[in-house]
């Protein structure tokens, strides 16, 4: 089966750095995605990792270790608008590129 774990909630201070972890156990692996989802809105794509290492995109970075089944999303210089749920999703290589999502981490940014 497929299992993706991430913390349910996190709180961080405006201007700080926060790391959201994700561990996965899937039947196959063809890439890991991070999505941001504001309440009542659709998920929006943040990052994609298929090889080990760090991918940086502005204030957001994502890391992958395939041998450990582990990824994290790093958010720097937090802003109030970063308050949202962050979804970790794995393409398990089933051929359809369907994504298996974790339950999401609700991040609250406080002043």
Partner 1 sequence: DTGVSQNPRHKITKRGQNVTFRCDPISEHNRLYWYRQTLGQGPEFLTYFQNEAQLEKSRLLSDRFSAERPKGSFSTLEIQRTEQGDSAMYLCASSSRADGAYEQYFGPGTRLTVT
Pick 2 or 11: Cβ nearer partner 1: 2
* Residue 89 touches partner 1, criterion: CB under 8 A: yes
Question: Using an 8 Å Cβ cutoff, are 22 and 3 in contact?
Answer: no
Task: For the segment 5-64, give every residue that binds partner 1 (CB under 8 A).
Answer: 33, 35, 41-45, 48
The helix or strand, by DSSP H or E, that contains position 35, with its residue range, turns out to be: strand 32-37
Q: Give the contacts of 110 (CB within 8 A, at least 6 positions apart).
A: 11, 12, 13, 14
Considering the complex, what minimum distance in angstroms separates the CB of residue 45 from partner 1? 4
Q: Which residues bind partner 1 (CB under 8 A)?
A: 4, 33, 35, 41-45, 48, 87, 89, 94-104
């Amino acid at each position: 089966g497929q299992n993706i774990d991430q913390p349910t909630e996190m709180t961080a201070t405006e201007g700080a750095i926060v790391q959201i972890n994700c561990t996965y156990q899937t039947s196959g692996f063809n890439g890991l995605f991070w999505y941001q989802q504001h309440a009542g809105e659709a998920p929006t794509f943040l990052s994609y990792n298929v090889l080990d290492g760090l991918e940086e995109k502005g204030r957001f970075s994502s890391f992958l270790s395939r041998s450990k089944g582990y990824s994290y999303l790093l958010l720097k210089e937090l802003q109030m608008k970063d308050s949202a749920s962050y979804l970790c999703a794995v393409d398990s290589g089933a051929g359809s590129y369907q994504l298996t999502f974790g339950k999401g981490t609700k991040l609250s940014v406080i002043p």
